[in-house]
Amino acid sequence: METRSVSLTGEAHIANEFRLDGKCAVITGAGSGIGRAIALRFAASGARICALDINQPDAEAVCREIQSAGGTASSYACDVTSLADVTRVFDDISRQERIHILVNNAGVSHIGNIENTTEEDFHRVMRVNVKGYYNCIHDCIGRMKTNGGGVILNMASVAGSAGLADRFAYSTSKGAVIAMTYSVARDYISHNIRCNCISPARVHTPFVDGFLHKNYPGREREMYENLAKTQPIGRMAEPPEVASLALFLCSDAASFITGVDYLLDGGFMNLHG
């Protein structure tokens, strides 16, 4: 049997495809949870991080973590629901460097069916989860075109594809994010701009812990286990696991991938029942 030699040089090249050296990544909602994990992972892979969050002290804390580890990061207070605010921040960033990667992650959740979702609840979810993504892409896409391309990654959810109980507004918003991803990918493929999204199932973030503490005081562990078991794999995802997929999709290793909604769901969509 013929054996093939393995080139370590070739393997090193493949490893380097997952690096983000020399690239600037703008990450919204970077102050906590999934956004924080993505910022830390991208920085560890060589990216310069622009951490955007409506709560700037949280973004500053993430930047200090990155800087203490030898990385480069800057924090920006930004309300993604305001196009003027987004433009102000992106102008500030662009005066200093080219934006290579945009990660739309800032979002809010809501519990309720259509009857007990108020108009204001619905508007709030759509302002952050849909208009916020629109604002960031709308402002960034022209800059990417001018500079020869870029990568956009949107955080969606299995709620955008599955009929989750009591998640009317949230599911509606994430369905829009998935459709938005497909549209942007198709419209800008000729401009060397890739656009994908990730659809996680439940992820163990501070939001989950806060939700359980607020709604199930004294029963947090029991309810956490119940929620974890809705994923066939038997647990929730951890933010660094989402960050690993985000790194791949934003790296040169994924240069042939665009217009895809990636499930990260522990078998939730395809292995139920």
Which residues are known to be catalytic? 170
For the chain, the maximum distance between any two Cα atoms, rounded to a whole number of angstroms, is: 69
Q: Which two tokens stand for residue 83?
A: 């196009």
* CB 51, CB 76: distance < 8 Å: yes
SS3 166: coil
- Of the candidates 26, 29, 42, 147, the one whose C-alpha atom is nearest the C-alpha of residue 92 is 26
Helix (H), strand (E) at residue 10: helix 8-17
Tokens of 62: 């993430």
Rounded-to-integer distance, Cα 249 and Cα 252, Å: 8
Q: What angle do CA 58, 28, 191 make, to 5 degrees?
A: 155
Following CA atoms 207, 211, 217, 219 in sequence, which dihedral angle do they give, to the nearest 10 degrees?
-90
Which residue in the block uniquely carries the two structure tokens 């030699």? 5
CA–centroid distance for 199 within its chain: 9
- Dist CA 99 CA 247 (whole Å): 16
Give the single-character DSSP code of 161.
T
Token reading at 163: 């009929």
Q: For residue 234, give the 3-state DSSP assignment.
A: coil
